[in-house]
Amino acid sequence: MTAKKIWLATPTMHGDELRYMTEAYETNWMSTVGENINEAERLACQQTGSKYAVGLGSGTAALHMAVKLSGVKAWDKVFCTDMTFAATVNPVVYEKAVPIFIDTEPDTWNMDPVALEKAFQLYPEVKVVVIVHLYGTPAKMDELKAVCDKYGAVIIEDAAESLGATYKGKQTGSLGTYNCISFNGNKIITGSSGGMLLTDDKAAADKARKWSTQSRENAPWYQHEEVGYNYRMSNVIAGVVRGQFPYLSDHIARKKAIFDRYQAAFADLPVTMNPYDAENSVPNFWLSCLLIDEKAMCKQERGALSATFVKEPGKTCPTEILESLAAENIEGRPIWKPMHMQPIYRDNAFVARQDGMDVGADIFDRGLCLPSDIKMTPEEQDRVIRIVRSCFA
Ligand SMILES: *Cc1c(COP(=O)(O)O)cnc(C)c1O
């Protein structure tokens, strides 16, 4: 018999979610308007400190609205975090603009401010920068913002993975001009799906609301002056989101306990956990990740669709660890494969701090995501730890 599956990250419900969903059903607000949406938006503002929130069908939809609000036009270049989920970048392409990828720094695994400065020297005309807080770890926002301000560029913050994480006391999701969060099933809190656009700009919030409901003009008939989208959040989904918000801090505490436990258990191995700036930021610890020291890496080769490795005593690689976990019914995951390494973006520019440098490719090569499900028991986490340790034998 195979042991019970240990997941990377799954939804954790508490009961209130069902109550609010049921309320939507019983009051017949089975729609994209209703009390749950209003409340979920209010809670998102309260949590992040943003003035306005617009509930949408997904974080990707929120990013699309943010890209449109930032005024990006066809063929404009947009600077984007390179090591991230493709959803950060695809909305730039929906608007026929051209993502340019900025390399990663090793201290938080986010956009490198030095590489960003270099990118502006190469492309001073760029007006929009999309910044991610990867795995719930805040990016070096002050440094990045200083560079953006210098060149008059607007920040779109992709806080899809970092809800509840803070940078210098401020919530992620409130640090850019147009900010996005996600309630996808594996995020720190979830609606099963859903997302929100957050901003302090009332006119921007109103525009996003209009665009996301097919851009109806205020007229007695269906009057349209611009293209619209069906992107609004469902009142049923919003019920789940509404029920989850009160548990955000509980989820973060449990994620942190998992991270700390891994860190202690691997202290004597040639590895580090995904790093953060403990002085200036508090991550939400959405995913615990491991980076294998260079000297402890065995030979690993990754093709377009598969990977191989050559085992060496005392050495391992992400492929071996992930295969060993999978063999025991445990779900791990490689680090997000950097966008500049993706076939779809092979012709897009990539700017590193120094020519030839590629921090993202190195982290992708040596790193992996460990199971970070908050329902994982200490005994289950011990299983994960044992298997990872055995790979270093
Ligand atoms: C999940 C995620 C998104 C997209 O959110 P969806 O709600 O799944 O559309 C965007 N960016 C990052 C970094 C994410 O992890």
For 61-93, the pLDDT digits (tens) are 999 999 999 999 999 999 999 999 999 999 999
pLDDT mean across residues, the chain: 97
Does 40 score more than 80 pLDDT? yes
Please indicate whether residue 162, judged by its CB atom, sits closer than 6 Å to ligand 1: no
Give the pLDDT score at 1: 58
Cα 60 to ligand 1 centre (Å): 6
Mean pLDDT value across residues 1-21: 93
pLDDT in tens, 359-368: 999 999 999 9
Please indicate whether residue 132, judged by its CB atom, sits closer than 6 Å to ligand 1: yes
371 touches 7 (CB < 8 A): yes
Please indicate whether residue 180, judged by its CB atom, sits closer than 6 Å to ligand 1: no
Using DSSP, state whether 86 is helix, strand or coil.
helix
Kindly report the protein residue whose alpha carbon is nearest to atom 1 of ligand 1.
160
Cα 120 to ligand 1 centre (Å): 26
Whether the full predicted model's pTM is greater than 0.95, yes or no, is yes
pLDDT in tens, 127-174: 999 999 999 999 999 999 999 999 999 999 999 999 999 999 999 999
Cα 197 to ligand 1 centre (Å): 12
Please indicate whether residue 108, judged by its CB atom, sits closer than 6 Å to ligand 1: no
Please indicate whether residue 137, judged by its CB atom, sits closer than 6 Å to ligand 1: no
Q: Rounded to an integer, what distance in angstroms lies between the CA atom of residue 23 and that of residue 293?
A: 52
DSSP 298: P
Please indicate whether residue 58, judged by its CB atom, sits closer than 6 Å to ligand 1: yes
Please indicate whether residue 182, judged by its CB atom, sits closer than 6 Å to ligand 1: yes
CA angle 292, 296, 297 (to 5 degrees): 75
pLDDT in tens, 93-137: 999 999 999 999 999 999 999 999 999 999 999 999 999 999 999
Atom of ligand 1 nearest to the CA of 63: 10
Does 354 score more than 90 pLDDT? yes
Mean pLDDT value across residues 273-291: 98
Token couple for 370: 């460990």
Using DSSP, state whether 253 is helix, strand or coil.
helix
Kindly report the protein residue whose alpha carbon is nearest to atom 2 of ligand 1.
160
Nearest CA among 280, 39, 86, 77 for reference residue 175: 280
Cα 88 to ligand 1 centre (Å): 7
295: amino acid identity, one letter: K
* Cβ count within 10 A of residue 75: 8
Mean pLDDT value across residues 22-27: 98
Give the pLDDT score at 202: 98
Q: Rounded to an integer, what distance in angstroms lies between the CA atom of residue 155 and that of residue 128?
A: 6
Give the pLDDT score at 3: 81
Nearest CA among 114, 87, 107, 67 for reference residue 351: 114
Kindly tell me the burial class for residue 236, based on how many C-beta atoms sit within 10 Å of its own C-beta (0-12, 13-18, 19 or more).
buried
Q: Which of 92, 94, 135, 161 to mutate to test the pocket of ligand 1 (most atoms within 8 A of CB)?
A: 161
284 touches 136 (CB < 8 A): yes
Cα 294 to ligand 1 centre (Å): 30
